[in-house]
Amino acid sequence: MKTKSVICFLFLLFLFSNVGAQTNTYYDFECGTTETMLRSSTSVGYSANGYPFTPKGDLRALVICAGFGSNYDSQYVSGWDSAPDSIPISLKNGDIFYSNFSQFTSNPPASAIGNISAYYHAMSRGQFRLVVDVYPKRINITPETEGWAGAAKKVINQMKAENPNFDWSIYDNRQNVPAYQSDNSNSLPDMKPDYVIIIYRYSKSFINSPYPTQVIPGDAYARIDFDNSINYNGYTFNPSCGYTQFTGGGYFSTLFIHEVAHTLYDAPHVSGVNTVTGDYVFIEKGWSQMDQNYVPFVSSNAWERWYLDWIDGIKANGTNADIKSASDMNTSGEYVLRDFVSTGDAMRIKIPNGVGKNEYLWLENHQGITIFDNQLIAKDGCDNNFPASPRGIVAYIESISDDKNNPGNLFYTNPSGIKYLHGAGNFDYTYQNPPEISCWYNNDVYNFHQAAINPISGQCGAQEIKFDFNNNNLIDFCNHANSGSQCYPPIPAKEDNKVLIKKDGNFTYDFLNGERAFAAGRKLSMASNPCLINRPKYESNGDKMGIYYLNGISVSVLNYDANGSARVKVQYKDVDITNDTRYAGIIYLPDITSDANPDINIMSNFTLHVDKSGTPNKKVKTSLGDFINPTEFKCLTSSFFKQSTYSKVFVENGSSLFVENGAKYEVNSNAELAVKSGSNFTVKSGGNLILKNSAQFSVELGATLTIEPGDLFSIR
């Protein structure tokens, strides 16, 4: 069957000699895809069984370092010396892998934060132990006409010639490639090594390439170019069961986990790697197996651990916390979330989104009990410490998959399938020109300023800020699952996305800092910043963002106990707006309560601004010279919008508010509804606008008021 594999290229913007866990280097992933025999695009089975191997039990792998002989040894590769048999320094000293099963511990030291073996052991809660041996000398080949695709076979044949009696049996403890169909963690050997990694001593900075007529096939890809044609001391090979790294100076642990995730369960690009946005426009910065550089935690997220059965269902302190509707909640609606990494506690709440694809709010509590709640890299390019990692409840919206029985085909169908929320809230941003070249490893740094709050459609420190930075009169982005370079014509997508490094003159590194967490007393709701709402896709046909659906779900962080465990409360039909707020975007109000009660209630003495966003939400510049579509707020059939006494609603800056057929909008005594110049208020036929005595309803000159025939307009 014809399927795909993922090739990941790691562009090293700046190279340093230290490749250990605290390397001060900025990495930017750029990936491509090729058609291979690795993966079925319509796989069925069970996700936690894995494709090349089941991520449980014990697995021993072998790393083979390869080179191209004396003509290339004198050229510099980060982390390697020039001796003919040299291997990377970090592979010699054991920083990257354990080589013995006795090394595993439930509480690894801080120095193990970049150790792959320790990572898998902690994320799987002890279910998966990976150890890796490094072949003690480099295997050198003479490059000829075989090209990059044939180099691996040449390496293994050279190793066979030098060591024909090599004992492969210690690397063969499983039946290879369960392909999701079975758990192979306790299977029998099959005369195929379980996992082999090749790392070449090569850099793109080489003056001459070993294969000058070929473009390097990425810095790495998650396969080995061996097959059954190779017989080495009775053993043959499966190309799915390995990993090839072409540029040998890269960051081994991050790259390894990234590549394995692609082949293990067809992981899509999330966390902003490869500048992938999919159909979601904004680049998200957060923790996952896709990226562990410059994110707040070296941790798998709860969706990944759930998908691989590394946590026991979705539970909070032993109580079911997988909430798809109000009927799934316990009696009180309160749950206790212990430390996520050490216990596996998590919560998942389904969010209505109007389009049928399931989206969920996930909650994790990161208390720093293990090293994996810290950052992999501690300092910026000026040797300043990064801000401390968040402690407490963190949140994100996931729309990758909730079906473990149909794994595979996630890479292309669900890129950028996680939106990370930021406790500091969503805002419109402005920035100063020109950028400076400073502590972000000689990359451009823009000084950003938080403008108006924008709880629904604004941006936050968990995203790269999007503007027309390259001044080409377009907001450049590409919805390809792999990268902008895969679009035709290729687009400079990275140029219109900038990491939020500096704010109001200070280096804040918002994507790392502790403000991402939600403190005791915080609440996510229709009235909060950020707003608890679905995550729409960008609609290319209309050059606009999709629809935000208000939902009435709220999550409150009640308190943290002395051990850091968080008590949270989930509510449905929580529709009261209890603070001044601003709504921008295409926003629909459905019948949330399914009864005669309000579906949104602007409480007394509070103001709602239905306002134009200040954040780009379209690709092509408007006649006003910005990249922002006007706001539309629709009260859908059977919905009830209520303004309590002394509340205010302003429809402004070209926005529109519609009361659809069967919807009701009620302005109570001494409440004010004002339609500002350039904006629009429409009551559709069958809509119901009720103005109570002493209610104020004003339409400024230049605004539009439309009352369609058959509406139910009344003053009481």
Compute the distance between CA of residue 49 and CA of residue 174 in angstroms, rounded to an integer. Answer: 13
Encoded amino acid at 108, one letter: P
Compute the distance between CA of residue 671 and CA of residue 387 in angstroms, rounded to an integer. Answer: 45
Over its C-alpha atoms, the chain yields an Rg (Å, rounded) of 28
The pair of structure tokens assigned to 339 is 């430390």
Read off the pLDDT of residues 62-95 as tens digits, 9 standing for 90 and up: 999 999 998 899 999 988 988 998 898 888 888 8
How high is the pLDDT of residue 532? 98
Closest CA to 364 of 387, 376, 348, 383: 348
Find out whether 515 and 564 touch, Cβ atoms under 8 Å: no
The pair of structure tokens assigned to 332 is 């009180």
**DSSP string across 477-512:** ----SS-GGGSSS---GGGGEE---EETTEE--TTT
What letter would DSSP give residue 652? -
φ/ψ of 151, rounded to 5, equals -65, -40
The pair of structure tokens assigned to 363 is 């909650």
Compute the distance between CA of residue 519 and CA of residue 560 in angstroms, rounded to an integer. Answer: 9
How high is the pLDDT of residue 216? 84
Listed in sequence order, the residues at least 6 apart from 568 whose beta carbon sits closer than 8 Å to its beta carbon are 334, 335, 336, 337, 347, 363, 393, 555, 556, 557, 558
Encoded amino acid at 579, one letter: N
How high is the pLDDT of residue 512? 95
How high is the pLDDT of residue 514? 92
The neighbour count for residue 630, using CB atoms within 10 Å, is: 21
**DSSP string across 242-293:** EEEESSTTS-HHHHHHHHHHHHHH-PPP-TTGGG--TTS-SPB---SSS--S
**DSSP string across 391-448:** -EEEEEEE-S-S-TTS-S-HHHH-TT-EEE--TT--EEEEEEEEEEE-TTTTSEEEEE
Q: Is 305 helix (H, G, I), strand (E, B) or coil?
A: helix
Residues of the chain with pLDDT under 70: 1-42, 250, 484-494, 711-716
Compute the distance between CA of residue 301 and CA of residue 123 in angstroms, rounded to an integer. Answer: 9
The neighbour count for residue 622, using CB atoms within 10 Å, is: 12
Strands 632-635 and 586-589: parallel
Compute the distance between CA of residue 240 and CA of residue 43 in angstroms, rounded to an integer. Answer: 15
Compute the distance between CA of residue 481 and CA of residue 252 in angstroms, rounded to an integer. Answer: 23
User: Helix, strand, coil proportions of the chain in percent (round to 5)?
Assistant: 15, 30, 60
Find out whether 389 and 376 touch, Cβ atoms under 8 Å: no
Helix residue ranges per DSSP H, 651-696? none
Task: Judge if the upstream peptide bond of residue 590 is cis by omega within 30 degrees of 0.
Answer: no
Longest dimension (CA), the chain: 95
Q: With a threshold of 0.85, does the pTM exceed it?
A: yes
Compute the distance between CA of residue 716 and CA of residue 694 in angstroms, rounded to an integer. Answer: 9
How high is the pLDDT of residue 613? 98
Compute the distance between CA of residue 11 and CA of residue 249 in angstroms, rounded to an integer. Answer: 11
